[in-house]
Amino acid sequence: MMKPRSINIFLLDGDPNGIRVAQISMSTIQAIAFRRNQLRRVREAFPEIERPGVYILIGADEEAQDRQLAYIGESEGVGARLSYHNSNEAGRDAKGFWTDTVVLISKDENLTKSHARYVEACLIRGVASNPRWTLPNTRMPSDDAGKLPLPDRAAMDEFVDQTKTLVGALGWDLFREIRGRTPEQSADRDLSKAELHGSPRFFFRGEGFAAEMEIGPSGDFLVVAGSRARVRTTRTIPRGTITLRNTLVEKGVLQQEGDFLVFTSAYSFTSASAAAATVIGASANGRILWKLSDGRSYADWEANQDEAGGTTEP
């Protein structure tokens, strides 16, 4: 369950796309975000990144343009480790995809190598359920990675929790949990919970598919668990939709059952059309295809929200 938080973001050059430092109020954890080619300047401006910490190297997946790559690592000296990665273009474990960086450190200098290993392991596991992201890490952490005493573990769990919030605030959703209820849980859910954020249920049905969708608290488009997508696709299906459907099958979010691809858990889409295209296996205008039980389209409902002073955005 997410909780309200106040985040301060410092822009080193006044540029929202430049070097940024994010910090949750009253916390000692800092997230420094910058482009790969700004590494030297960051090392000069923020000597604290030479201490133990965790880092994330971010870039695009050239084989699947709708997915991104995130390499998560830790080091006793993060600045030096990043410099090594930056110069290792042709060597083993090169990071050719790397374009953006997030460094996570503690201002109180109490972070140790074991702490960093524990945080690294937790963050790697935290990305595993998000099909939009791929981890190029060649080795996954063991269950006892960075084993810590209970008090230290509690402190690092808070570090991990704040890290996920800060990385999201800086513009990357790799730690966003997109897997939701199982079909059984979905059937037993309390419908009043969906009404807490004012979302009705939208339907999209036809030959070979029958899906339901809600609007999430963050304005995302959540196809609910148990929805059925069409197995076959058309020639007009967008390339990105093919890639996404294949990824969801690989991750187990979509599972073939008879003549359908069934959502084994809820999945969050960035638009109504992306959700509809995935369900029908073709190019689709989800704004008019998703319908309320009274026949109104999503576009009609959204327009009515705006007229009524609602806060839902397109």
Q: What is the pLDDT of residues 127-159, one digit of tens each?
A: 866 777 888 877 776 666 667 888 888 989 999
Domain boundary among 142, 169, 196: 169
Residues 46 and 125 in one domain: yes
Q: Collapsing DSSP states into helix, strand and coil, what is residue 69?
A: strand
Q: Kindly state whether residue 257 falls inside one of the protein's structural domains.
A: yes
Which of 109-118, 186-195, 217-226, 235-244 is predicted least confidently? 186-195
Q: What is the pLDDT of residue 314?
A: 36
Overall number of domains in the chain: 2
Residues 144 and 222 in one domain: no
Q: Which long-range contacts (CB under 8 A, 24 or more apart) does 179-182 make?
A: 179/129, 179/253, 179/265, 179/266, 179/267, 180/222, 180/224, 180/225, 180/265, 180/266, 180/267, 181/224, 181/225, 181/265, 181/266, 182/225, 182/264, 182/265
Q: What is the pLDDT of residue 142?
A: 67
Q: What is the pLDDT of residue 208?
A: 92
Task: Look at residues 33, 116, 35, 43 and name the one whose alpha carbon lies nearest to residue 80.
Answer: 43
Tokens of 303: 């327009």
Task: Look at residues 90, 71, 68, 92 and name the one whose alpha carbon lies nearest to residue 82.
Answer: 71
Residue 313 has pLDDT above 60, yes or no: no
Question: Any idea which residue has 């059925």 for tokens?
Answer: 228
Tokens of 70: 């995130």
Residues 191 and 287 in one domain: yes
Domain boundary among 111, 143, 169: 169
Residue 303's pLDDT band, with cuts at 50, 70 and 90, is confident
Residues 189 and 293 in one domain: yes
Residue 213 has pLDDT above 80, yes or no: yes
Domain that holds residue 113: 7-169
Residue 56 has pLDDT above 70, yes or no: yes
Q: Kindly state whether residue 207 falls inside one of the protein's structural domains.
A: yes
Q: What is the pLDDT of residue 190?
A: 36
Tokens of 179: 């897997």
Residue 185's pLDDT band, with cuts at 50, 70 and 90, is very low
C-alpha dist (Å) from residue 237 to 78, 90, 229, 232: 43, 37, 14, 10
Q: Kindly state whether residue 1 falls inside one of the protein's structural domains.
A: no
Q: Kindly state whether residue 205 falls inside one of the protein's structural domains.
A: yes
Residues 244 and 123 in one domain: no
Residues 118 and 211 in one domain: no
Q: Kindly state whether residue 302 falls inside one of the protein's structural domains.
A: yes
| Mean predicted confidence (pLDDT) in 167-191 | 60
Residue 240 has pLDDT above 90, yes or no: no
Residues 239 and 164 in one domain: no
| Mean predicted confidence (pLDDT) in 157-174 | 90
Q: What is the pLDDT of residue 257?
A: 93
Domain boundary among 169, 191, 208: 169
